[in-house]
Amino acid sequence: MQVIHRVAELRAALAGAENTAFVPTMGNLHRGHIALIEQARQAGRPVVASIFVNPLQFGAGEDFEHYPRTLAADCEQLAAAGTDIVFAPEPAEMYPEPQTYQVLPPLAGELCGAQRPGHFQGVATVVLKLFNMVRPRFAAFGKKDYQQLFILKGMVRQFNLPIEILEGETVRAADGLALSSRNGYLSAAERAEAPRLYATLRAIAAELAGGRRDFATLEAAAGAELTRHGWAVDYVAIRSQATLLAPQPGETALVALAAARLGGTRLIDNIEVGLPG
Amino acid sequence: MQVIHRVAELRAALAGAENTAFVPTMGNLHRGHIALIEQARQAGRPVVASIFVNPLQFGAGEDFEHYPRTLAADCEQLAAAGTDIVFAPEPAEMYPEPQTYQVLPPLAGELCGAQRPGHFQGVATVVLKLFNMVRPRFAAFGKKDYQQLFILKGMVRQFNLPIEILEGETVRAADGLALSSRNGYLSAAERAEAPRLYATLRAIAAELAGGRRDFATLEAAAGAELTRHGWAVDYVAIRSQATLLAPQPGETALVALAAARLGGTRLIDNIEVGLPG
């Protein structure tokens, strides 16, 4: 496995590759990332993983400075999973000058975007840059970051990038908590409480499957339940899978999404719900 | 020469091509475009020209509806110039859904952007889409559209597109008027007056070469001269070639740019000026 820090070296290593499968990450890898690597391996070769904590997608007061950076351990995991190339650039290599060109995606003020202005613009911009460096045929993203995946799929389609997006199912701990690098911020007590986020979403899914259609009531009740247990709720939302907007009457492919904070740690999760037609 | 209207067909025709040289146009071709085709031919093969009047870059009340569409004559010229592929998509092929992802470039509110809000965002977005369809190694743009060229060079650099931009010198009529599709809108009297735009810029260049550094005075005098002859002046501006912003003290690579309207026709032009260091 090659570990590459420079764009020019990456391009040289990938010259002529037509079947590259790419997994962009911010490092601090867990089993969710490794599942994406395995999915990428099934799709194409070489398998390229990037590790870059992207300053452009962090807001003021967010955890950019403290985001866990664990390159050596990440490389061990990636090598064991059959990764061919790790691209781990410094910020000055990704942004040799102030990034004055950005991708302006839709939905950037919705859901997570409402609390994180500029976040999805920063994500879309760095992913476009990485795509142009790696020029993959396949790229894998996890469904845990549902809005991110939605926005990147749209970017590929609307900018006509010749890339197939692979969607990775969310990998969970035994108690249901979605794996996330930010879980490492949780105290023991918070970690014990954290599975309630997914449990609350499952409860919404069950209510929807049982015929409830009063979305606003379900959202409010779920938010109140989390608040009662010490969470600061950013949102609980039932949306259309097709648009990520409020479902239209008769829409059956829905998704319930939530973002909430336990102490200083912001967690997100989601569950897809297919209603009977 | 192949004439292709569909993205999928274009991708199939270009599969495996590694040296493609691309000339994006809005059609209604003149010798300036043909010079770009010749420049592209020197750089790589196949030579691809696109003809697409991009609705995204026209504002309300601009000439999108009336922009001259002359596909058959354009194809004759392109074939004679050695073009291999013409890509001429319909708007619905370029924009099968509303384009909700856009490129946000810098300087979009400066110079021509001040009078044409959204124009450069629309240009950058369609060019990014075309680049992702054609995947050229070289792409040629004329210096007549100086700000456009500046913005697209920056986009290629900041989005890490593996494309080399070829810059075409402005092609002029014998009396100095820069060739432009919009010259066809001019009445005989306007056509006789039109060379004054470039003459005025040349006069600024001469003053700068002679040592004048009072940029604001030079700009105002040039604007007044054009106004006196019936032009409605959008701007006359002396800028840095490096930034397209006002020159810093000591900068020697300058460019004088102007946009002004004769009757209903908006013309632009520019001249680069290298001062003694």
Residue-wise DSSP of chain B: -EEE--HHHHHHHHTT-SS-EEEEE-SS--HHHHHHHHHHHHH-SSEEEEE---GGGPPTTSSTTTS---HHHHHHHHHHTT-SEEE---HHHH-SS----EEE-TTTTSTHHHHSTTHHHHHHHHHHHHHHHH--SEEEEETTSHHHHHHHHHHHHHTT---EEEEEPPPB-TTSPBP-GGGGG--HHHHHHTTHHHHHHHHHHHHHHTT---HHHHHHHHHHHHHHTT-EEEEEEEEETTTSSSPPTT--EEEEEEEEEETTEEEEEEEEEE---
**Residue A242, both tokens:** 């097709």
Which secondary structure element, helix H or strand E, spans residue A257, and what is its range? strand A253-262
Q: What CA–CA distances, in Å, run from B15 to B12, B127, B138?
A: 5, 20, 16
Distance from C-alpha of B256 to C-alpha of B10, rounded to nearest angstrom: 39
Shortest Cα–Cα distance, A245 to chain B (Å):
14
pLDDT in tens, B173-184: 999 999 999 999
Say what the pLDDT of residue A72 is.
Answer: 98
**Chain B residues in contact with A129 (beta carbon < 8 A):** 158-160
**Residue B45, both tokens:** 């093969």
Torsion region of B160: left, alpha or beta (phi above 0 gives left; psi -120 to 50 gives alpha):
left
Say what the pLDDT of residue B197 is.
Answer: 98
- Within an 8 Å CB–CB cutoff, is residue B248 touching chain A? no
Confidence tier at B115 by pLDDT (50, 70, 90)? very high
Give the residue extent of every domain in chain A.
2-168, 181-269
- Output the furthest CA–CA distance in chain B (Å, rounded): 56
Size of interface A-B (CB pairs under 8 A): 64
Q: Please, is B87 exposed, middle or buried when counting C-beta atoms within 10 Å of its C-beta (0-12, 13-18, 19+)?
A: buried
Say what the pLDDT of residue B277 is.
Answer: 72
Note whether B104 contacts A106, CB cutoff 8 Å. Answer: no
CATH classification of B2-168, choosing from 1.10.150.120, 3.20.20.70, 3.40.50.620, 3.30.70.1520? 3.40.50.620
Check if the beta carbon of residue B268 is closer than 8 Å to that of residue B119.
no
Return the sign of the alpha-carbon dihedral for residues A131, A142, A197, A244: positive
Q: Is A15 helix (H, G, I), strand (E, B) or coil?
A: coil
In the stretch 2-61 of chain A, residues with CB closer than 8 A to chain B read 7, 11
Note whether B101 contacts A133, CB cutoff 8 Å. Answer: no
Q: What CA–CA distances, in Å, run from A16 to A207, B10, B46, B162?
A: 52, 20, 18, 13
**Residue A58, both tokens:** 């962090």
When the pLDDT of each residue in chain B is averaged and rounded to a whole number, the result is: 97
| Beta-bridge partners for A139 | A22, A165
In the stretch 139-158 of chain A, residues with CB closer than 8 A to chain B read 154-155, 158
**Residue A121, both tokens:** 């613009």
Which CATH number does A181-269 carry?
3.30.1300.10
Residues near B170 by Cβ (< 8 Å), separated by ≥ 6? Answer: B32, B142, B143, B144, B178, B179, B269, B270
Low-confidence ranges of chain A (pLDDT < 70): none
Shortest Cα–Cα distance, A104 to chain B (Å):
5
Note whether A102 contacts B104, CB cutoff 8 Å. Answer: yes
Considering chain B, what percentage of its residues have pLDDT values greater than 70?
Answer: 100
Residue B75 has pLDDT above 90, yes or no: yes
Say what the pLDDT of residue A276 is.
Answer: 84
The DSSP 8-state label assigned to residue A172 in this structure reads: B
pLDDT in tens, B205-240: 999 999 999 999 999 999 999 999 999 999 999 999
pLDDT in tens, B248-270: 999 999 999 999 999 999 999 99
Alpha helices in A135-214, H assignment, sequence order = 146-158, 188-193, 196-209
Residue B189 has pLDDT above 80, yes or no: yes
**Chain A residues in contact with B11 (beta carbon < 8 A):** 162
Shortest Cα–Cα distance, B156 to chain A (Å):
10
ipTM field:
0.97
Q: Under CATH, which architecture does the B181-270 domain have?
A: 2-Layer Sandwich (3.30)
Distance from C-alpha of B97 to C-alpha of A168, rounded to nearest angstrom: 26
Q: Shortest CB distance from A104 goes to which of B102, B106, B158?
A: B102
Return the sign of the alpha-carbon dihedral for residues B67, B69, B70, B71: positive
Note whether B105 contacts A100, CB cutoff 8 Å. Answer: yes
Say what the pLDDT of residue B242 is.
Answer: 97
Distance from C-alpha of A53 to C-alpha of A70, rounded to nearest angstrom: 11
